[in-house]
């Protein structure tokens, strides 16, 4: 609160982050979404926040891309979007690591969810659950941006059908997700260029996403 | 009754300081789950199998449940061991003061983050970066450049510099400050290297 007082007085933009845990103290998806809405409201009404950074996370898998955490994020965002003009963001924690199709599918799924549920900013991606050193790259952000652009303006029932297909494409791999590669193993570090292998993986993910119902 | 005014960080602090004493385990294991379940039942909040709600009334009831959850529960401060109280009117007054639009970055890279309504045809702002994941000192600027060079990315979010001058950036030590300032320099450098020096970070 001391730091918020400083930022607020200096007229800085304050992004307040909070990640509700599904399967924790709150309970099921509905109770967690209720707590998520309450906490987002508190960020603006009590703590001088300008934009809120959400991130419902699964207690078992430690990711934001499961069906349950996507459902919590989407319902909470839609509830606030319909009733306020608050600026809402969401962040990305995937189970799979960079240079894997699963990682890109997870990112695309959440980007489509966040866009269609009315969020204003999306932030990511912390691949490999954001806990493994050097396992994040710009290619995941490319997928995040391109999936969001493709989903913007679509009808919600159509988006839901696509999301069902996308989640089904990776949910069977939760127990043994592909570890992927470090930045320095899937990019030419000097030229900052993704390897041909990663470009091939990206193309393969685009084809799978197209089969799920959306062209990116 | 209408709220006299919206709260700010100073009034929130005073309310925490004079708030009701509550044990943290009571708050976590009793207060939160009990009240969340009560709101779920009162407002009949049941998600079907849809990831994004297609029922507008459900979304509206969820909003009301969230407002009442905050008003009837308050907010817990773990440092003080006290809970703040806030009324529904103060919550609704408080969110009115929040901005509907913010601008990030400068020059050619300045972007406006404006309220979207539903699934607007205007895509959200894309903030690329490791989102707090740990990154080696040796590749930090290069990795940030991999985000800054993406056309789809509008602004950057940093990673965590694993070491600075080869030393761990341990919390509450001078190395933490050095690492934070180094992170900012590296991110700025990445933006400049791709010709986007004004990107919001």
The DSSP annotation for B95-126 comes to: HHTS-SEEEES-GGG-EEEE---SS-SSPPEE
- Inspect the interface and report whether the beta carbons of B66 and A114 lie closer than 8 Å: no
Q: What percent of chain A has pLDDT over 70?
A: 100
Strand residue runs (E) in A80-139: 88-93, 121-126
**Residues of chain B contacting residue A146, judged by C-beta atoms under 8 Å apart:** 152
End-to-end CA gap in chain A: 42
**Residues of chain B contacting residue A5, judged by C-beta atoms under 8 Å apart:** 9-10, 13
**Residues of chain A contacting residue B50, judged by C-beta atoms under 8 Å apart:** 71, 160
The shortest C-alpha distance from A42 to chain B (Å) reads: 7
Per the structure block, which two tokens stand in for A80? 């606030």
Count of C-beta atoms within a 10 Å radius of residue B176: 14
End-to-end CA gap in chain B: 42
Per the structure block, which two tokens stand in for A40? 């987002």
Residue B173 CA: distances (Å) to CA of A1, B166, B179: 20, 15, 10
Q: How sure is the predictor about A147, in pLDDT bands with cuts at 50, 70 and 90?
A: very high
Block means of pLDDT (10 residues each) for chain B, length 201 residues?
A: 92 97 98 98 96 98 98 97 97 96 97 97 98 96 98 97 94 95 97 98 96
pLDDT surpassing 90 at residue A74: yes
Q: Which residue among A30, A42, A80 sits closest to B45, beta carbon to beta carbon?
A: A30
Residue A80: predicted pLDDT:
98
- Contact (CB, 8 A) for A81 and B91: no
The shortest C-alpha distance from B158 to chain A (Å) reads: 10
- Inspect the interface and report whether the beta carbons of B10 and A5 lie closer than 8 Å: yes
pLDDT, one tens digit per residue, over A31-43 is 999 999 999 999 9
The shortest C-alpha distance from B136 to chain A (Å) reads: 6
- Inspect the interface and report whether the beta carbons of A159 and B52 lie closer than 8 Å: yes
Regarding an ipTM greater than 0.90, the answer is: yes
Count of C-beta atoms within a 10 Å radius of residue A155: 11
The shortest C-alpha distance from A145 to chain B (Å) reads: 5
- CA B129 – CA B148 distance, rounded (Å): 8
Q: How sure is the predictor about A81, in pLDDT bands with cuts at 50, 70 and 90?
A: very high
Q: Which residue among A82, A130, A132 sits closest to B63, beta carbon to beta carbon?
A: A82
Residue B1: predicted pLDDT:
82
**Residues of chain A contacting residue B116, judged by C-beta atoms under 8 Å apart:** 81, 118-120
Q: Of A129, A69, A80, A184, nearest to B139 (Cα)?
A: A184
Q: Which residue among B54, B75, B153 sits closest to A157, beta carbon to beta carbon?
A: B54
Q: Of A124, A74, A134, nearest to A104 (Cα)?
A: A124
Per the structure block, which two tokens stand in for B105? 């970055």
CATH number of A14-212: 3.20.20.460
Chain B residue at shortest CA distance from A11: B102
- Inspect the interface and report whether the beta carbons of A124 and B62 lie closer than 8 Å: no
- Contact (CB, 8 A) for A32 and A54: no
- Averaged pLDDT of chain A: 97
Chain B residue at shortest CA distance from A148: B123
Helix count and strand count (H, E) for chain B = 7, 11
**Residues of chain B contacting residue A98, judged by C-beta atoms under 8 Å apart:** none
- CA B196 – CA B201 distance, rounded (Å): 11
- Inspect the interface and report whether the beta carbons of A123 and B129 lie closer than 8 Å: yes
- Contact (CB, 8 A) for A76 and A111: no
- CA A130 – CA B151 distance, rounded (Å): 23
Q: Which H or E run includes B169?
A: none
Residue B166: predicted pLDDT:
96
Helix count and strand count (H, E) for chain A = 8, 8
Q: Of B109, B94, B74, B65, nearest to B2 (Cα)?
A: B94
Q: Is the pTM of this model over 0.90?
A: yes
DSSP 8-state class, residue B152: T
Q: Give Cβ neighbours of residue B157 (< 8 Å, ≥ 6 apart).
A: A123, A124, B127, B128, B129, B130, B131, B132, B201
Per the structure block, which two tokens stand in for B32? 């939160």
């Amino acid at each position: 609160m001391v730091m918020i007082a400083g930022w607020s007085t200096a007229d800085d933009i304050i992004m307040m982050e909070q990640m509700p845990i599904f399967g924790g103290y709150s309970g099921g998806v509905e109770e967690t979404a209720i707590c998520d809405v309450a906490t987002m409201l508190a960020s603006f009404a009590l703590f001088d926040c300008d934009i809120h950074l959400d991130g419902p996370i699964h207690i078992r898998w430690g990711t934001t891309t499961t069906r349950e955490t996507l459902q919590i994020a989407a319902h909470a965002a839609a509830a606030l979007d319909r009733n306020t003009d608050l600026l809402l963001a969401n962040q990305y924690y995937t189970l799979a690591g960079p240079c894997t199709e699963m990682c890109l599918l997870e990112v695309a799924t959440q980007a489509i969810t966040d866009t269609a549920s009315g969020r204003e900013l999306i932030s990511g991606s912390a691949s490999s659950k954001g806990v493994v050193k050097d396992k994040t790259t710009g290619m995941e952000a490319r997928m995040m941006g391109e999936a969001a652009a493709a989903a913007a303006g679509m009808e919600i029932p159509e988006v839901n059908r696509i999301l069902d297909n996308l989640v089904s494409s990776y949910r069977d791999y939760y127990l043994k997700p592909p570890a992927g590669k470090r930045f320095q193993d899937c990019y030419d570090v000097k030229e900052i260029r993704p390897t041909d292998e990663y470009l091939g993986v990206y193309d393969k993910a685009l084809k799978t996403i197209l089969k799920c119902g959306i062209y990116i | 009754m209408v709220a006299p005014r919206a709260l700010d960080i100073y009034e929130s602090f005073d309310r925490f300081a004079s708030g009701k004493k509550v044990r943290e385990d009571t708050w976590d294991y009793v207060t939160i789950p009990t009240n969340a379940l009560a709101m779920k039942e009162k407002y009949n909040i049941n998600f079907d199998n849809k990831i994004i709600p297609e029922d507008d009334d459900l979304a509206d009831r969820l909003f009301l449940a969230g407002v009442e959850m905050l008003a009837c529960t308050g907010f817990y401060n773990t440092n003080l061991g006290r809970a703040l109280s806030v009324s529904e009117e103060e919550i609704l007054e408080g969110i009115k003061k929040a901005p509907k639009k913010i601008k990030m970055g400068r020059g050619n890279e300045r972007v406006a983050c404006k309220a979207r309504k539903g699934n607007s045809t205007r895509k959200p702002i894309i903030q690329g970066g490791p989102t707090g994941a740990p990154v080696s000192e040796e590749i930090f600027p290069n990795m940030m450049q991999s985000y800054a060079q993406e056309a789809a990315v509008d602004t950057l979010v940093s990673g965590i510099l694993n070491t600075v001058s080869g030393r761990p950036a341990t919390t509450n030590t001078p190395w933490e400050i050095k690492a934070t300032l180094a992170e900012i320099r590296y991110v700025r450098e990445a933006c400049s290297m791709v010709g986007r020096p004004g990107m919001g970070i």
